[in-house]
């Protein structure tokens, strides 16, 4: 047995609830612990490993670039960055520019700044149950008080309206609203997909009142929901789209896709030391190629439908609802999920929570049908148990 848990507990900052399971290797949808035990990964590192772990094309691209040029500030053009910019400018029609950062929360911070700078307005409207990150701007847009407590005062100008509620959105957006910031599928908030009517209304109201529409695709992007981006299910183009997580196949990277209504972006108004570094750009180019070559959005759509059908067939008094889009699925229970996640882990399945009562499944999009069947069998066994006293 390794002592990695003890070492990290001793020397870590203490801000993570450490599990006594040390993971040292991954391949595809599988993870291995320090003792050689194999697990099916239904967390993907909170949605990072869409391509699976240690994809050979990403690994090769990283190794080659590490021997060529690792870091370069964006003031100096670079071959890999230029190629990635051109590639990403074609992902969503109408979003033809890109800003690179290092994470999801940084992408949200940039989007907030760009919206205020473009409109000259101070206010941002987000949704109840929203999660957008942990830095101050993104945290101010995040709804759950457990993330906010202890850090007040947060930034002024932020408000939250009921999700999937058009009337609430109508009331919230005023002449002082710079942008509406929405997840198309709320992840941390419980895996709630937006209705088409809600997203289309958000676009209409923003247009009528001169606000920008920002879509947060940090968890739902790059094939996760069955399309390259979840917004593509709705026939709506946002003004700004934030993404990160699986963009570079596991290498830290974030990006903001920018439409024509975003203005006043002149040299010096924003920046990032590591943003757009050649190593991350090389990884992202490889990852995007894999997404296209292996048709990962199509795989997510088909496998997600298969998994959803299997989950809905589970007969358990503990299940309240199964919902999601593609391979972004939530199983809402009538009881707390912590003991069920523990029981799954004992059966070599790693899953996530989304709040106190939702099991969140975010498997790599390369997960096999055989692996899905194994996951469903474990869930069928676990979810019928009475763990109300644990």
> What are the sequence ranges of the domains in the chain?
4-54+299-382, 56-293
Q: How far apart are CA 226 and CA 385, in angstroms?
A: 32
Question: Which pLDDT score, from 0 to 100, does residue 204 have?
Answer: 98
CATH no. of 56-293: 3.40.640.10
Cβ atoms < 10 Å from Cβ of 336: 15
Question: Which pLDDT score, from 0 to 100, does residue 388 have?
Answer: 75
pLDDT (tens, 9 = 90+) of the chain, 390 residues, equals 478 999 999 999 999 999 999 999 999 999 999 999 999 999 999 999 999 999 999 999 999 999 999 999 999 999 999 999 999 999 999 999 999 999 999 999 999 999 999 999 999 999 999 999 999 999 999 999 999 999 999 999 999 999 999 999 999 999 999 999 999 999 999 999 999 999 999 999 999 999 999 999 999 999 999 999 999 999 999 999 999 999 999 999 999 999 999 999 999 999 999 999 999 999 999 999 999 999 999 999 999 999 999 999 999 999 999 999 999 999 999 999 999 999 999 999 999 999 999 999 999 999 999 999 999 999 999 999 988 777
Any idea what DSSP says for residue 246? G
* Separation of CA 143 from chain center: 16
Contact 273, 60 (CB under 8 A): no
Q: How far apart are CA 213 and CA 203, in angstroms?
A: 7
Is 245 assigned a catalytic role? yes
The sign of the CA dihedral 215, 220, 226, 228 is positive
Q: Which bin fits 68, alpha (ψ -120 to 50), beta or left (φ > 0)?
A: alpha
Instruction: Check 216, 239, 261, 303 and give the catalytic one.
Output: 216
Q: State phi, psi for 127 to the nearest 5 degrees.
A: -110, 150
Helix axes 278-293, 296-312, angle to 10 degrees: 70
Instruction: Check 131, 143, 158, 222 and give the catalytic one.
Output: 131
Instruction: Check 41, 222, 239, 245 and give the catalytic one.
Output: 245
Question: Which pLDDT score, from 0 to 100, does residue 107 have?
Answer: 98
**Residue 224: strand, helix, or coil:** coil
Is 131 assigned a catalytic role? yes
Q: How far apart are CA 91 and CA 242, in angstroms?
A: 13
Is 216 assigned a catalytic role? yes
- Within a 13 Å sphere around the CA of 7, how many CA atoms are in the beta-carbon half? 6
Question: Which pLDDT score, from 0 to 100, does residue 387 have?
Answer: 85
How is domain 4-54+299-382 classified at the CATH fold level?
3.90.1150
* 5 exposure class (CB count in 10 Å sphere: 0-12, 13-18, 19+): middle
Single out the residue of 35, 30, 33, 29 nearest to residue 19, CA to CA: 33
């Amino acid at each position: 047995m390794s002592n990695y848990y003890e070492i990290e507990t001793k020397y870590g900052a203490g801000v993570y609830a450490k599990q006594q399971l040390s993971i040292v290797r991954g391949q595809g949808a599988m993870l291995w612990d320090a003792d050689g035990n194999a697990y099916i990964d239904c967390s993907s590192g909170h949605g990072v490993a869409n391509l699976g772990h240690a994809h050979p094309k990403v690994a090769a691209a990283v190794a080659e670039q590490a021997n060529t040029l690792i870091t370069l500030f964006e003031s100096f053009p670079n071959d890999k960055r230029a190629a990635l910019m051109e590639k990403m400018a074609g992902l969503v029609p109408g979003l033809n520019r890109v800003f690179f950062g290092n994470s999801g929360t940084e992408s949200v911070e940039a989007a907030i700044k760009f919206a205020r700078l473009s409109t000259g307005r101070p206010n941002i409207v987000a949704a109840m149950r929203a999660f957008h990150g942990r830095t101050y701007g993104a945290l101010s847009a995040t709804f759950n008080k457990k993330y906010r407590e202890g850090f007040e005062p947060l930034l002024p100008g932020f408000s939250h309206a009921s999700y999937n509620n058009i009337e609430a959105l109508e009331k919230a957006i005023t002449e002082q609203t710079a942008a509406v910031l929405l997840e198309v599928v709320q992840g941390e908030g419980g895996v709630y997909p937006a209705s088409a009517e809600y997203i289309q209304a958000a676009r209409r109201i923003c247009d009528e009142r001169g606000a920008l529409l920002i879509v947060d695709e940090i968890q739902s992007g790059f094939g996760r929901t069955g399309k390259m981006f979840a917004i593509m299910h709705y026939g709506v183009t946002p003004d700004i789209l934030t993404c990160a997580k699986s963009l570079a196949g596991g290498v830290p990277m974030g990006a903001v896709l920018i439409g024509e209504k975003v203005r006043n972006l002149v040299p010096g108004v924003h920046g990032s030391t590591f943003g757009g570094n050649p190593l991350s750009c090389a990884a992202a180019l490889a990852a995007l190629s894999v997404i296209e070559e292996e048709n990962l959005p199509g795989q997510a759509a088909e496998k997600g439908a298969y998994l959803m059908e299997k989950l809905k067939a589970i007969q358990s008094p503990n299940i309240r609802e199964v919902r999601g889009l593609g391979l972004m699925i939530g199983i809402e229970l009538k009881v707390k999920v912590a003991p069920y996640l523990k029981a799954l882990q004992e059966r070599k399945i790693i899953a996530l929570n989304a709040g106190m009562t939702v099991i969140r499944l975010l498997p790599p999009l390369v997960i096999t049908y055989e692996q899905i069947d194994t996951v469903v069998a474990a869930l069928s066994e676990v979810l019928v148990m009475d763990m109300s006293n644990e």
